[in-house]
Structure 1
Amino acid sequence: MNPSDTRTIGRRAAAVVAAAGLAGTLLAVVAPPASAGQHAPPVTWQSCPAYSDQTLALLAPPDKQPQLRELLGRLECGTVSVPLDYGRPNGRKITVALSRLKARDQAHRLGSLALNPGGPGGSGYLMPVEVILRGESTAGLNERYDLIGFDPRGVGYSTKVDCPAPDEMPDPPPPGPLTEDHARRIYDAQVAANAACGRSDPPFLGQLTTANVARDLDRIRAGLGEPRLNFLGISWGTWLGVVYRTLYPQQVGRMFLDSVAIPRFSIPAFVQGRADAAERKAGRMTAWLSEYDDTYGLGTTAAEVRETIIALRADYDANPRRFTDLPEPLDGGLIADAAGQDSPVWPLVGQILKELREATGPTAPPTVKQVLGGSGPPPPAPPADAPERSNRTMNKAAFCNEDPSRSDFASAWAAYRRNLTHNPMTGRSVNFAAGCAGWPLPVQAFRIKPGGGSLVLSGHRWEVPSPYEWTLQTRDIAGGKVYTVDDDVHGSALMECTADLVGFFNTGRIDGGCDGVPVPTGPAAAAAAFSSS
């Protein structure tokens, strides 16, 4: 489940426009006392998974295969035993799976650095390997730190459950604006699915919370014999970081949190914050497109481009286009999706908007056809030994256990309509959803507060999944230093600000920010953007 479930330009375009990691964030809750002082069993080390050639090919491109195999040969794997319910420490136990890449420079080792990619529900088990595969600069994190990956409870190699598939879901809405009647059918079906999921295993699902993942993380720290834990978290991983820091202030070393999560969580606030950020980012794109009116013909000023996009979206909603070589008709949702994309693909977006504006049919314009594709064979199923990348049940449970809103239909419909009015360029990209309505388990709210260690909050000035204001709000509540990345790409600091990030973990010092992912220098970047899809 993703409460900000949005349409995309197309499944094939997802690779072009994807930002780093999964977009997840969470909320705020009061929990039982921390248990840092109690004895924790050591890590039980065991053989790492052996992967088939097919799975190895999924994990890295051909030129990285020798390095991947070398890193997997260095990787150590294990588990820690933790209580399912920390309120009953002598009750049922579950296991949390972890991995370790020992520091290359053991003589100058600084400790363990735990990694989390986001979610909730994202797997971090192979993240130590993935971080190093990104390039020589990111490999610097492993010089003086043991890199620690782990699968949170409910994910991957850790103890988990999967909710049953919903009995039935309504047919997709017809092209054009969503009607209230169809929205009610979506709401009712999602409420039923939430209720069925939550009732499938309440004792386990009720313990899938960020606070419990933080407690598990401290068991990992203790099992490794570390007095303090250093931490790098992205997206939902930033929420995990500030929750850990709240519960265990004396156990925190250096913590860098990139693309910071909303600090006071509810799904309506979460979705609205992202929706408003998408419209702001689209305004930045209109200014860029206006500089290349001779190429795209969308307007010579940002205001003109904005009006062109709004008019095009309204036209496609009123008159959905049916092209003979595309499997589905195109409506205003596609225009809204395009307007909300990250800056690296603005040249591609400009070309798509130009073609959609000029399209006469009966076949789709060339770039639109390339991006959206046509009918074809479905992608092959992943190999049986492929590691789980994310777990939908953990995602749903962690959100819904911590969401205090549980909106009724009238509230959800009003919020959806309000978004369309306030965000005329991009609002249609946000699908109507019931959020956590119908989730049968009690709300477990957590309130973060200042903690120990050295905290850096890395916010991206223009991004959508974690709007910049969430970074400032978190700083005002939990403290720490704000580090500003002047781009719109979720979780890009690890690649774009690597020297600063590595320097922080090595020295504890960092400056005020970095440029991040650059804005394209002109329309010629369109071909390069598409070639990466």
Structure 2
Amino acid sequence: MHERGSLTGRAVTAAAVSAVTLTSLIAGSPVAAADRASVEWRTCPSYSDDVIAAYAVTGEQRQRFRALLGRMECGSVSVPLDYRKPQGRQITIAITRVKAADRARRLGSLALNPGGPGGAGYLFPLQIASMNQVNARLNDRYDLIGFDPRGVGYSTKVDCPAMGGQPPEPGPLTKTAAQRAHDSGVARNRACANSDPAFLGRLTTLNSARDLDRVRIALGERKLSFLGISWGTWLGAVYRSTFPGSVGRMFLDSVAPVKFRLDDFEDGHAAGTERNFGRMATWIAQRHDTYGLGETAKEVRAKVQALSRAYDDKPRHYSDWEMVADGSTLAMLAIQSAPDWPQVAQAFKELQDEGDTAPPALKKLMSHGPQGAPAPGAPERFNPTAGQAVFCNEDPSRLGFSDAWATYQRRLERNPVTGRAVAFTAQCAGWPLPVQKIKVRRTGGSLVLSGHRYESVSLYEWTKQMRAAIGGTLYTVDDDMHGSVPREPECATDLVSYFNTGRIDRGCDGTPVPEK
């Protein structure tokens, strides 16, 4: 699920996963053309130091990234646009491969997906393997496979005009403004979908799973292991449900819901953030001497709500910053994950002052987000058109305005601190292409489902629900961080051990809560 609308880039608003009917999909899936799949290998793109810096932060990480880049192979696999017409229009899926370092003990190919939908995975193996020395061991015995799903990056794609709407006016959203936003969203959705319905209608998780199996065949692998994060967990679940005999070991981190409706997803996210704010408020209350926001979680909550009302009554315009702060700004602060709690608490403290300049802590948090245009020659990291199409092709809700407005009002009432962080949208309203559904199922085989106990992007409950639907081992991470397993050495050690041995314990601590 692609991250968007967050102060730090770690809090996801409406990211989604979804569904498409298994009936004609498994039994009726055409395979004759797949038997002839092959990789067309070509020279890899070259990347500047600025591009590499976007994927690897520290000097040590960049050194590892460059070394992997020197070993990377690049190619593409031809697949049908429409699997019901295997001899019809063909599109290409861009892939990368970094061959296992220990060829004598090689275990096979491991495909990796970072999430989305719409997220690019071309350089994701390099990003994972350069992240820390533990992850680097994944490449000892596995060929690491990156790929851009259809509609993304170097794979065949189309781009609609900008899908985002105009930013809302400061202060509480009025019904009139919401109606305008909904109507313009419907118009954009219809224009996008109708610009190339033959292509956009085939952007689904099921077709990405079919593409992945074509990649497996083209690589000459009997089975393909898989590491998926966020939306990548839905792709993994659909892949193993559709091609049970093709899957080796599979690890899914921050698991998507089994049944997808965008409105339900956003309700779940809002409830999760409100719940996790209780942990933040307790942490802040224990440090009242530092932040002065209250000695109990209840007092902290009341202080934040009072600040939110004050900023809605009088939105703040700053002389040194283009941002306007209102109640939604407080909500965005309140949904941040544990590593940012000290900075969030400091921002709450500073927001009590009515200065002309922006609070430094707020500006620092904002600096974690996207920093301008990508470096020249950088590969696409996220394709909004593909993200929209996959969401909306699989979302059965597509709420009209009255239902969308009622849902939004109910969300604000149930989540008084964090509800505003999930913006009112018409994300799939008016999308004219047919809804496509799938029901994942148990198939056996090696599978680990990693759920984060306090996470609000992919709720821990969803991991349990997915396990009930498709089986597997539950791996619990005691943090609130989306997809943190590869980033935390303790957890990453378990991850690497699982792919090497097929065995894993029941969890790890994950990203720690700051002491100060």
TM range (shorter): over 0.9
Secondary structure of the 1:230 match is: strand
Counterpart of 1:193? Answer: 188
Task: State yes or no: 1:137 paired with 2:134.
Answer: yes
Counterpart of 2:454? Answer: 462
Aligned pairs for 1:8-47 within 5 A: 8-9=6-7, 14=8, 18=10, 24-31=15-22, 32=25, 33-35=28-30, 39-47=35-43
d(CA) in 2 for partners of 1:515 and 1:249? Answer: 31
Secondary structure of the 2:321 match is: coil
d(CA) in 1 for partners of 2:162 and 2:98? Answer: 37
Matching residue's letter, 1:51: Y
Structure 2 residue corresponding to 1:505, chosen from 479, 499, 506: 499
Task: State yes or no: 1:274 paired with 2:265.
Answer: no
Counterpart of 1:516? Answer: 510
Aligned pairs for 1:410-421 within 5 A: 410-421=402-413
Task: State yes or no: 1:105 paired with 2:105.
Answer: no
Counterpart of 1:528? Answer: none
Task: State yes or no: 1:51 paired with 2:15.
Answer: no
Secondary structure of the 2:436 match is: coil
Instruction: Give the gaps of 5 or more residues in structure 1.
Output: 523-533
Secondary structure of the 2:79 match is: strand
Give, in angstroms, the shift of residue 255 of structure 1: 0.4
Give, in angstroms, the shift of residue 62 of structure 1: 6.6
Task: State yes or no: 1:240 paired with 2:235.
Answer: yes
d(CA) in 2 for partners of 1:485 and 1:53? Answer: 34
C-alpha offsets along residues 335-379 of structure 1, whole Å, 9 cap, x if unaligned? Answer: 11111100001011111111112x032334443455558xxxx96
Distance 1:398 1:70, change over 3 A: same
Counterpart of 2:157? Answer: 160
Query: Which stretch has the larger CA shift, 46-55 or 247-256?
Result: 46-55
Native 8 Å contact 1:252 1:452 kept in 2? no
Distance 1:370 1:346, change over 3 A: closer
Give, in angstroms, the shift of residue 484 of structure 1: 0.6
d(CA) in 2 for partners of 1:390 and 1:490? Answer: 17
Query: Which stretch has the larger CA shift, 241-250 or 304-313?
Result: 304-313
Give, in angstroms, the shift of residue 226 of structure 1: 0.9
Instruction: Give the gaps of 5 or more residues in structure 2.
Output: none
Counterpart of 1:316? Answer: 311
Counterpart of 1:88? Answer: 85
Matching residue's letter, 1:385: G
Structure 2 residue corresponding to 1:261, chosen from 256, 264, 268: 256
- Cα RMSD for the two superposed structures: 2.1
Native 8 Å contact 2:454 2:460 kept in 1? yes
d(CA) in 2 for partners of 1:352 and 1:301? Answer: 18
Query: Which stretch has the larger CA shift, 304-313 or 508-517?
Result: 304-313
Matching residue's letter, 1:454: S
Give, in angstroms, the shift of residue 61 of structure 1: 4.3
Native 8 Å contact 2:29 2:84 kept in 1? no
Counterpart of 1:182? Answer: 177
d(CA) in 2 for partners of 1:57 and 1:512? Answer: 35
Native 8 Å contact 1:23 1:119 kept in 2? no
Secondary structure of the 1:39 match is: helix
d(CA) in 2 for partners of 1:40 and 1:481? Answer: 35
Give, in angstroms, the shift of residue 129 of structure 1: 1.1
Count of aligned pairs: 506
Counterpart of 1:527? Answer: none
Counterpart of 2:436? Answer: 444
Secondary structure of the 1:329 match is: strand
Structure 1 residue corresponding to 2:354, chosen from 331, 347, 360: 360
Counterpart of 1:531? Answer: none
Secondary structure of the 1:227 match is: coil
Give, in angstroms, the shift of residue 299 of structure 1: 1.2
Distance 1:159 1:315, change over 3 A: same
Give, in angstroms, the shift of residue 96 of structure 1: 0.6
d(CA) in 2 for partners of 1:132 and 1:23? Answer: 28
Secondary structure of the 1:154 match is: coil
Structure 1 residue corresponding to 2:473, chosen from 473, 481, 491: 481
Matching residue's letter, 1:304: E
C-alpha offsets along residues 451-499 of structure 1, whole Å, 9 cap, x if unaligned? Answer: 2321111001111111111101111111111111010110001122011
C-alpha offsets along residues 52-80 of structure 1, whole Å, 9 cap, x if unaligned? Answer: 44433444347244433321111111111
Secondary structure of the 1:520 match is: coil
C-alpha offsets along residues 161-206 of structure 1, whole Å, 9 cap, x if unaligned? Answer: 111346x95x533221100000000000111000000001011001
d(CA) in 1 for partners of 2:366 and 2:139? Answer: 40
Structure 2 residue corresponding to 1:326, chosen from 321, 329, 346: 321
Query: Which stretch has the larger CA shift, 210-219 or 449-458?
Result: 449-458
